[in-house]
Amino acid sequence: MVNNEVKPNVLKPRWTKVFSDLWDDKTRTTLVVASIAVGVFAVGMIITALMILREDINISYASANPANIEIWTDPFRGDLVRVIEKVPDIDEVEGRHIVSIRARRGDENWQGLKLVGVPDFENMGINQLGILEGSPIPGKGEIILSQDMMNSTGYQVGDMIEIELPDGSTHQLTVAGLVSDQTSARPDTNATSNAFVTLDTIRSLGLGNNYNRLLITVAGDGSNELFIASVASQVEDKIESHNRAVYRTEKNKSNEHPMTDTILAMMGVLGALGILITILSISLIINTLNAMMTQQLRQIGVMKLIGASSFQILGMYLSLIVVYGVIALLIAVPLGTLAGNALAGFVTNLMGAELQGFSIIPIAITVQVLLAFLIPLAAGFFPVNRGSRTNVRRAISNYRPRNQAASQGFLNRSGRWVSWISRPILLSFRNTFRKKGRLILTIFTLTIAGAVFIGVFNVQASMNNLMDQLMQHFLGDVTITFNRPYNTSKVERDLLAVPGVVGVEGWGAAGGDILDENDDVMTSLAIIAPPQDSQLVDPDIVAGRWLEPGEKKAMVISDTIYDYYPDIEPGDQLIVEIPGNREEEWEVVGIYRFVSMLGEPMAYANFEFVADKVNMPNQATSFRITTIPTEGDSLQTLIQRIETQLDNKGYAVQSLEAGDIMREGATTGVNTLIIFLLIMALLTAFVGSIGLMGTMSINVLERTREIGVMRTIGAVDLVVMQSVVIEGLVIGLITWVIAIGLSYPISFALLQIIGQAMAGSSFALIFTPLGVALWLAVVILLSIIASVMPARNAARLTINEVLAYE
């Protein structure tokens, strides 16, 4: 016996309809949920990473007990350490012996290292190291190396490396371990890895039994800059009272990583793009719900006939939006948490820091929940409210105002001009502009995506241009630093004898302080002195002029001076003190653009004047070389030739660096940022493609009867699919053209934010055609992909299905 009993529906009719709308149109549900989830995921990922980094970076940095005060001074023994320990408000004091060396493995090229002699690794209280691999304590004749993503030697535990000391002597050391050194992870154009050895090894290398660096932590508030500065001043006075000069002093907070502000600002930029992605999903929601309300007008009319109120219908459709949000949250929240922790882990590795463990951030989840509900509800309320208030007569009659007359009239009036175009293609153009409101929303979403995408490449070009300018301040094709000064004419003569070397410039340098009227130090000052006819410096002068020949006590200073003197102008005087010289007033003749994240202000002065100040007339320790490699030679081959020549002539080389290698290292952080921005741009493009796919699906659904008529008069599947794909391409190409123009303000805004975060100033905008060309390829690909599925659905419709469609 057949049981024909109908099982009762335990759900209320309105909920039955909500779940029916979700399940019956899986394509619509997938598109809406995906568009909400992508934005919610992006925001959750960025907030999670931001909150983790804000806490964990500083906790990790503080755990290394970083030096609040680091002082470069004349060689000293342990008795000075004990003297400094008695200065009020001092917690710990340790000495270090630090010297710049060169190292290589086998026949590889030399690379610069900082050799750090530590008195007691087991009781290392300041600037503590984290072990990555091998032993944390080197034995005699062993070395441990700092390793991070910004600076990596490439050496491994067990490697035998050759080091060259300032006196030119070479020694063999074994790599015993790799360590992380958070205190050295900071922006620095001359950053090199640290190599740690015991004082026994220092003595065995013939470097003596002295220290030349003081590391100090304060006993009071290690986050109070004024307090740290006052303690540093007392220490400097004590050192000078023991007949030792203070060459440089650095001051740092105990609980704030030097790169925290920069990293958090970068994460803020990514967060803003994440919010933009979420907002862009509005267009898809509006388009989808508008189409749904149009398709379900008769259903609304029937519901009203049997007693449903407009308020009940409104609530039912808003409940559908809420369900969309719930599904999106179930996908976006766990993925956002995982991705946020992964992103935070990547950034901390970049900085040599450590995460404090896997974290779930409540504020990130709260924001995700609010975004998943409020934005879709705000976007969907108006079309749903308008549809729910439709009167019964209009709903039952299924009356729809036609708005394509204008486009049809235009095509009819232009018939003789477009007669050579096939009819299916003309229909594609007509259908593109039939629903103008839907078209505008789709164009808006995809245009913003394209503008952000192009903008990222403009930002990359602008940042690369900035790095090119910055590198001009530091190096030529090859930069040589000697351990002692040499006569510039002799070095030039010897290097020009090397085939491929076409220019040699000796550059002077000095360190000093800028003082205020009370003789208190305002900031340290790095003074660089290129030769008067230098071809290797072309700073971006923002005020004033360049140096004139023979000009004394004159300087062109970086715009980072505005951090200390906001109102300074060319012609103003600054009090400068160079060690071994009395304080003097120098005139600021020009100001050039620089990057504040690179540290203290930097100034240019005339070579002859600075050389006299440091008692090195016609001598220099730094030389910059321009080259034209001979046919068949690489730059590395030329560098080896230069090294051989210097060895044969008996020069004591401290470092020899190729410009492109130093530039590559300096741009690591910038390239990482660009990768993150590009990922966010691709997510934006994904939302735009979802919007386009939704629009195409709706358009195909509304053209069902038209497609049926085309099929009855002989249109084959390929023709039907072609008409849909062409429509998608037309929309995509329209957005591409508009995106080019919109990319200018978006690029400018992104660059301003990044410039303020990284440099404290604005960057010059460079527009590159690369982004435009790539976005054209991407938008064509996206348009085809977004149109193929609706096109296939259209081609599969049978004549019976389309003629029966209502």
Instruction: Dump pLDDT digits (tens) for 307-334.
Output: 777 787 788 878 888 888 899 899 999 9
pLDDT band at 676 (very low <50, low <70, confident <90, very high): confident
pLDDT band at 753 (very low <50, low <70, confident <90, very high): confident
pLDDT band at 4 (very low <50, low <70, confident <90, very high): low
**The pLDDT value given to residue 572:** 92
**The pLDDT value given to residue 404:** 45
Contacts 24+ apart (CB under 8 A), 53-57: 53/260, 53/263, 53/264, 53/267, 53/344, 53/347, 53/348, 54/260, 54/264, 55/356, 56/344, 56/348, 56/353, 56/354, 56/355, 56/356, 56/359, 57/257, 57/260, 57/263, 57/347, 57/348, 57/351, 57/353
pTM to 2 decimal places: 0.69
**The pLDDT value given to residue 402:** 47
**The pLDDT value given to residue 12:** 62
**The pLDDT value given to residue 405:** 45
Mean pLDDT confidence for 4-23 = 61
DSSP notation for 407-442: HHHHHHHTTTTSTTS-HHHHHHHHHHTTSHHHHHHH
Mean pLDDT confidence for 791-798 = 63
DSSP for residue 783: H
Q: Which helix (H) or strand (E) holds 310?
A: helix 310-350
Is a pLDDT exceeding 90 seen at residue 32? no
Instruction: Please give the angle made by the CA atoms of 414, 419 and 420, to the nearest 5 degrees.
Output: 135
| Cα 448 to the center of its chain, rounded Å | 20
Give how far Cα 176 sits from Cα of 144, 157, 338, 608, Å.
5, 5, 35, 46
Is a pLDDT exceeding 50 seen at residue 501? yes
Give how far Cα 241 sits from Cα of 80, 217, 246, 258, Å.
11, 21, 11, 31
pLDDT band at 9 (very low <50, low <70, confident <90, very high): very low
**The pLDDT value given to residue 189:** 46
Buried b (16+ CB within 10 A) or exposed e, 377-387: bebbbebbbeb
**The pLDDT value given to residue 659:** 66
**The pLDDT value given to residue 537:** 82
**The pLDDT value given to residue 1:** 47
The 10s digit of each residue's pLDDT in 713-741 is 666 666 667 777 777 788 888 889 998 98
Is a pLDDT exceeding 50 seen at residue 569? yes
Q: Is 384 in contact with 285 (CB distance < 8 Å)?
A: no
Is a pLDDT exceeding 80 seen at residue 151? no
Q: What is the mean pLDDT of the chain?
A: 79
Other C-beta atoms closer than 10 Å to the C-beta of 393 total 9
The encoded tokens of residue 456 equal: 């990222």
* 3-state SS, residue 76: strand
pLDDT band at 472 (very low <50, low <70, confident <90, very high): low
**The pLDDT value given to residue 631:** 66
* 3-state SS, residue 158: coil
Is a pLDDT exceeding 90 seen at residue 6? no
**The pLDDT value given to residue 516:** 84
Report the distance separating Cα 72 and Cα 188, nearest Å.
17
N-term to C-term CA, the chain: 39
Rounded to 5 degrees, φ, ψ at 211 are: -105, 160
| CA dihedral angle for residue 483, residue 488, residue 493, residue 495, rounded to 10 degrees | 40
Other C-beta atoms closer than 10 Å to the C-beta of 539 total 19
The encoded tokens of residue 452 equal: 């952000």
Share of the chain above pLDDT 90, in %: 13
Other C-beta atoms closer than 10 Å to the C-beta of 438 total 21
**The pLDDT value given to residue 512:** 84
| Cα 417 to the center of its chain, rounded Å | 50
